[in-house]
Structure 1
C-alpha cells in the first residue's frame, strides 16, 4: 500500500482476451484519407480512400492514445487525440489541483506524476470529525484543537474546569495555611545573614516544589481525560466526562510515571551539565566555574529540549495504544524521527498561543488581587510578591482557573492531533479511523481504486 491509498491509475491496460482494435471507438466515416497526386496536370486528385487499408491493424488501446509529436513523429494538422474514456471515481481537476496535486505539485510540472492537468484529482478526504483524514497542516492541527473545544465544549470545559478548580483549591489552601511567609522574608532583607538566606531559599524551593507537584497531578489528569475526548472528536463521536474517565483511568498511573520519568531525565541532564562548573567554583576558581556553569546550562538545555520533543508523543501513545512507559517512549521516538523540527515548531507555536491567551486573563486578575489586598499594587510590588493574603490568593486563583481552562484543551489537543497526523503519514492510520467512523467507500475499497495501491 502506498502513501495515498484508494487512488486509481489513469490509462489502465485493457483486460486479457480483449482485442485492441475491437475496443476502440469507430473511426468517423468522413475522415479524409491521404490525397493521391493527380495523374496528369489539370486533372483533379483522386477521391480519398477509406480508412481501412490505410490504418494498421495493431493499434494501442484507446486509453493510451497520445498526440504524435517530438521524436515520435510530427503532429497531423487539424487532428487531436481522442479524449480518454471516463472511468469511475475520476472527477474534474480543480484549478491548481486539490491538496497541491495540480500544476507545480509533487512529481513534475503539471501535477502529481504529470497527470495533474489532464486527469481529475484525488477525491476529497473524509472528515467525520474535527479534522480531515489525511496528512494535516499546521493550521489544521491548531484548528482541530480549537474545534474540539468549541464543538464538545461541555465535556472539554467541564473536565478543564473541574481539574483546575480542585488543583487551585489545594494550592491556595497550601499557600495560605502551610506556607510560612516569615521564613522567606529574609530574601528581601539586605541585612540577612548567610544562614538566614540559606534557610529562606530552602523553604522557598520546598514550597515551590510542592505547588509544582500539585499542579503536575492536575495536568496529568486533565491530559489523560482530554486525550480521550480529542481522539473521539476525530471520529465525530462525543464522550461524557464519566466515559472519558473510565477509559483513561487504567492508564493514569502510567501517565504520571511517564511524566515524572521525563522530569527526572531533564533534571539529570541539567545536573550533569552544571556539575563540573559547580565543582570548579567550589574549589576557589569562581570566574571559570561560573562560566562553565553557564555553558553547562546552555548545553544541557539543548540536549533536554531535543529529548523532550523526541518523547513528546509518548503521552498519547500511552493513552490511546494502552502501552507501557517504555513502549510509549519508543513509539514516540519512531513517530518523531525525521520530523523533529516540524513537531517542535508546531508545539512551540501552540504553547505560545495558549500562554498568551491565558496571560491576557491571568495578569489582570493578579493586579486586581494585589489592588484588593491590604498594601495595594505598590506594596505588593515592593514586597516582591511575598506576604500573600487570602484575598490575593483567592482572586488570583480565580484567574489561574480561567487560564487553565484555555491552556489544558489547546496543549493536549495539539499533542494528540500531532500523534494522529504522524501515524497517518507513516502508518496509514486514516484507513482505520475511516472504518471506525463508519465512512463508506474510503480507502482501497473506494470506487476507482486499484487493489494493492
Structure 2
C-alpha cells in the first residue's frame, strides 16, 4: 500500500503523536519569518498601546503623583482616588489589549497552517490579512472559553486570599474564615474538572473560526462535535504541547524576572517621587516584557498543535484528506 501523500508538513492521513508534534515544529521551521513577523507586530502594537496609556496617565496626574509620593503626611483621598481609578482603567485596558493580541496569534496559527499543510508558499501579508479578518470571531471564542475557567480560578483566589488575611490578622473569627477557605477549595475542586472538560471540548473553536469562517458560537459548537469521542486524546496531546511551551517559556523569562528583582535595589530609599515612580515602572514593566517575550516565543507552538489536531479530526471523521490532496495540487490563489 503506497504511503499517503505529503505535500506539506504532515501526511494527508490520520496523524500520530509524532506527526502532530513534528508537523508543528516543521511549520515553525518553514515559516518562522512570517510567524516571527506576526508575533512581533502584534505584541509590538500591544506594547505601544499600553505604553501610550501609561504615559498619558502619568502626564495627566503628575501633580497628584508628586503630592502622594513626596508628602510626609498621609495622602488625601482627593489625590489618591483619581490615581486608583485611572490606573485601574489602564490595567483593564492592558488586559483587553493583551487578550486581543493573544486572539490575533490564535488566528494566525490556523492561517499559516492552511498553506503549510498544502505545501504552498505564504507571505506575512497573506497571513496577516487572513488572521485579521477572523480575529474578532477568534476573540469571541477566547473570551467565552476563558469565562469557563473563571469560576474555579475565582474560587481558588478567594480561598487563598481569605487564608492569607486570616494568617496575617490572626482574627478571633478564624473558624468562620476557615469555612470560607474550605468552601472555596471544595468549590474549585467541584468546578475544576468541568472547566477542563469544557476547555478541551472547545479547543478547536479558534481553528474552526479561521478555517471555516464560523462565528464564535458556531465555532464552539463545531469544536464540540469534532472533539466528541476523542476527548482524552485531544486533552493528552494538547496538555503535552502546553507543558513543552511552558517549560521553554519559563527558561526564557528567567533573566527578565531576575532583573525585576534587582530593580528595587537600585532605587535606594526612593526618597523622591521620581525615583519611586521609576522603581514602580521598572518593577511593573520588566515582568510584562518577560510575559510578552515568553508568549511571543512559545504561544505559537501549542496553537499549531491544536490546529493540527483539528485537521486530524476532520481527516478521521469527515474524510478531508482527498479534498486536501486536490487543494494541494491547485495554485494557492485558487484554494
TM-score, normalised on structure 2?
Answer: 0.75
Cα contact 1:133–1:433 (8 A) shared by 2: yes
Aligned to 1:127: 6
Match among 319, 324, 336 for residue 215 of structure 2 = 324
Q: What SS is found at the alignment partner of 2:234?
A: helix
Aligned to 2:32: 153
- Counterparts in 2 of 1:364-383, with a 5 A limit? 364-371=255-262, 373=263, 375-376=265-266
Matched, 1:231 2:114: yes
CA 1:205–1:125 in 2, change beyond 3 Å: closer, same or farther? farther
CA 1:363–1:323 in 2, change beyond 3 Å: closer, same or farther? same
- Over the aligned positions, Cα root-mean-square deviation in angstroms equals 4.0
Cα contact 1:159–1:226 (8 A) shared by 2: no
Q: Distance in 1 between matches of 2:148 and 2:292?
A: 29
Q: Distance in 2 between matches of 1:176 and 1:363?
A: 27
Larger Rg: 1 or 2? 1
Aligned to 1:142: 21
Question: Shift of residue 394 of structure 1?
Answer: 5.7
Aligned to 2:251: 360
Q: Distance in 2 between matches of 1:378 and 1:134?
A: 63
Aligned to 1:77: none
Q: Distance in 1 between matches of 2:40 and 2:180?
A: 47
CA 1:423–1:377 in 2, change beyond 3 Å: closer, same or farther? farther
Aligned to 1:240: 123
Deviation sequence 1:234-292 (CA, Å, 0-9, x none): 111122122123323332222212222222343357679999xxxxxx9x944333312
Aligned to 1:253: 136
Unmatched 5+ residue regions in structure 2? 69-81, 159-172, 271-276, 331-335
Aligned to 1:306: 197
Cα contact 1:136–1:421 (8 A) shared by 2: yes
Give the structure, 1 or 2, with the largest relative contact order (CA under 8 Å, sep 6 or more). Answer: 2
Cα contact 1:145–1:417 (8 A) shared by 2: yes
- Counterparts in 2 of 1:2-401, with a 5 A limit? 122-174=1-53, 178=57, 209-267=92-150, 285-371=176-262, 373=263, 375-376=265-266, 388-391=279-282, 398-401=289-292
Q: What SS is found at the alignment partner of 1:130?
A: coil
Cα contact 1:365–1:399 (8 A) shared by 2: yes
Q: Distance in 2 between matches of 1:274 and 1:365?
A: 26
Unmatched 5+ residue regions in structure 1? 1-121, 186-198, 276-281, 381-385, 440-453
Q: Distance in 1 between matches of 2:185 and 2:296?
A: 36
Deviation sequence 1:95-125 (CA, Å, 0-9, x none): xxxxxxxxxxxxxxxxxxxxxxxxxxx2112
CA 1:378–1:127 in 2, change beyond 3 Å: closer, same or farther? farther
TM-score, normalised on structure 1?
Answer: 0.57
Cα contact 2:245–2:302 (8 A) shared by 1: yes
CA 1:127–1:207 in 2, change beyond 3 Å: closer, same or farther? same
Deviation sequence 1:406-429 (CA, Å, 0-9, x none): 223212211210100111111111
Cα contact 2:155–2:185 (8 A) shared by 1: no
Q: What SS is found at the alignment partner of 2:299?
A: helix
Cα contact 1:318–1:328 (8 A) shared by 2: yes
Name the count of aligned residue pairs.
298
Instruction: Report the more deviating stretch, 237-246 or 263-272.
Output: 263-272
Higher helix share: 2
Q: Distance in 2 between matches of 1:203 and 1:347?
A: 39
Question: Shift of residue 340 of structure 1?
Answer: 1.2
